[in-house]
Each structure stands twice: as C-alpha cells, then as structure tokens.
Amino acid sequence: DAGVIQSPRHEVTEMGQEVTLRCKPISGHNSLFWYRQTMMRGLELLIYFNNNVPIDDSGMPEDRFSAKMPNASFSTLKIQPSEPRDSAVYFCASSLARSLNTEAFFGQGTRLTVV
C-alpha cells in the first residue's frame, strides 16, 4: 500500500477561487481526518469521518470550508471562496477505528498558497 495519498502536493491560487484538495485513505481504514498545519496554530483538526459519515466538523473554520467522503476510498476538502489566510499545509490521515491506540497514518500534505 502506498499509504495515504493526497493531491495536489502544491496548490497556488488567487483569492476568491475555489480550491479542492483530495485524499485517498489506506485501504481498509474506516476513519479519515483532515488537519490544517500553520506556524501560528500548529496542527488543527478540521473534520473527521467514520465509515464515510462526518462525525465532527466543529474544527472547520468557516462555511467557506466543506468536506465530503462519497466512498471509503476518497475524500475532498473544498474551500470556496479561498482567502490568503487559508494558506497552510493541509493533511489527511486515516486509521482503523476498531481498537484503542490505533495509529493514524498521514499523507504527505497539500501546501496551499492563496495570493
């Protein structure tokens, strides 16, 4: 397995444009997480899914952010419209939420720059 796969690796977009980040979790994992990493705030949990169902989206900063998981092998995080303060590295992670202390596996991240 290639691990958690995120695309694109880098995204540069203009303010006001729509941005879509993609994630393919590890096959067989049933929990998926989206995190945002910034210098000021570190790693923040935005939203997470279990069995494709959103469980907690309280970390999503604004209505401009939305996430979907249409099936067990794909998730998207969309920002519309994007703003410069959304610039960050966005990580997707997956795990098998069957037992305690299950390790979360992270993707390489998408570095988003909004100009």
Partner 1 sequence: AQRVTQPEKLLSVFKGAPVELKCNYSYSGSPELFWYVQYSRQRLQLLLRHISRESIKGFTADLNKGETSFHLKKPFAQEEDSAMYYCALSPYGGYNKLIFGAGTRLAVHP
Binding mask 49-68 for partner 1 (x = CB under 8 A): -x----xx------------
**For the chain, how far is it from start to end, CA to CA, in angstroms?**
35
Tell me the residue length of the chain: 115
Please give the residues from 80 up to 99 whose contact with partner 1 meets the rule CB under 8 A.
Answer: 91, 93, 95-97
Other beta carbons within 10 Å of 53: 7
Instruction: State the sign of the Cα–Cα–Cα–Cα dihedral 19, 46, 104, 70.
Output: negative
Q: Which residue has the tokens 């952010």?
A: 65
Instruction: Compare residues 59 and 81 and give the one whose CB is closer to partner 1.
Output: 59
Kindly determine how many residues on this chain lie close enough to bind partner 1 according to the rule CB under 8 A. 29
Binding mask 20-39 for partner 1 (x = CB under 8 A): -----------x-x-x----
* Contact between 12 and partner 1 per CB under 8 A: no
Q: Residue 98 corresponds to which tokens in the numbers above?
A: 């069957």
Residue of 3, 16, 61, 84 that binds partner 1 (CB under 8 A): 3
Q: Which residues pair with 24 in a beta bridge?
A: 5
**C-beta separation of 65 from 82 below 8 A:** no
Footprint on this chain of partner 1 (rule: CB under 8 A): 3-4, 31, 33, 35, 41-45, 48, 50, 55-56, 91, 93, 95-97, 100-109
